[in-house]
Amino acid sequence: MSLESHGPAPCDDADGHLVTAGPLTPPPDSAGTVADEKALRHSVAEDVQGMILATLVASLGLAIFAKGGLMIGGMAGLAFLVHYAFGWNFGLVFVLVNLPFYWVAVRRMGWEFTLKTFAAVTACGVLTDLLPRWADFAHMSSLYSAIVGGALAGLGILFYIRHRASLGGIGILAVYLQRTRGWSAGKVQMSFDTLLMCVAFSVLSPSKVMYSAIGAVVLSLVLMFNHRPGRYMGV
């Protein structure tokens, strides 16, 4: 299924837009008619610079989360938990835990979205690991880490959405289940993130889990206020 074609779904809103609250993998934008989409489509150069900027911003947000010892939802949160619990490389774990979701992305989102998402996940994971070597922070409070890390990660995801990509994860599966079985993508994403936060209590202190939840809320608010079908039209 290509990115340009979106069949009717049981959870579409009144305007025909897919409704999902998945913070890490929102659906591609709809741009009206086919002619509108062709007129608004980014060039290769625009896509490249957009993906680079998205990676710089999102990886900085994730690095700030890591410095504060926090986590977020989705597969990035799972990768953080594995990193904290076993000391494994965050970037490698982030890439590996996303692999099972790419076959869903190919079937439901198309090859363009899938390849861009694979590139985004890989680049963001690698850069998140490298950033502390290039720009170390002497001190990072948990509250600052939650707010600024969540805001930057949310902005990075917005840039990815604009260029038909994402940071992968459970959100891809959530959108797939919404389209095929009528399950609410937002509820699927929320259920996974709630379970993840519960597991986090066995790895992080209660205060760290609380600040992690604040960071996840900030990230979601950035997407909620800035990604709206009919308004956010860049493709």
pLDDT in tens, the chain (235 residues): 444 444 444 444 444 444 444 445 544 444 444 555 555 676 778 878 889 999 999 999 999 999 999 998 889 999 999 999 999 999 999 999 999 888 888 887 889 889 999 999 999 999 999 998 898 888 889 999 999 999 999 899 888 888 888 888 887 787 677 777 777 766 777 888 889 999 999 999 999 999 999 998 898 888 778 766 555 544 4
Q: What is the pLDDT of residue 231?
A: 55
The per-residue pLDDT for 46 is 82
Residue type, 171: G
Angle at 172 between CA 101 and CA 39, to 5 degrees: 120
pLDDT of residue 37: 57
User: Residue 98: CB partners within 8 Å, gap ≥ 6?
Assistant: 75, 118, 121, 168, 169
Residue 210 one-letter amino acid = M
pLDDT score for 167 = 85
CB atoms within 10 A of CB 140: 18
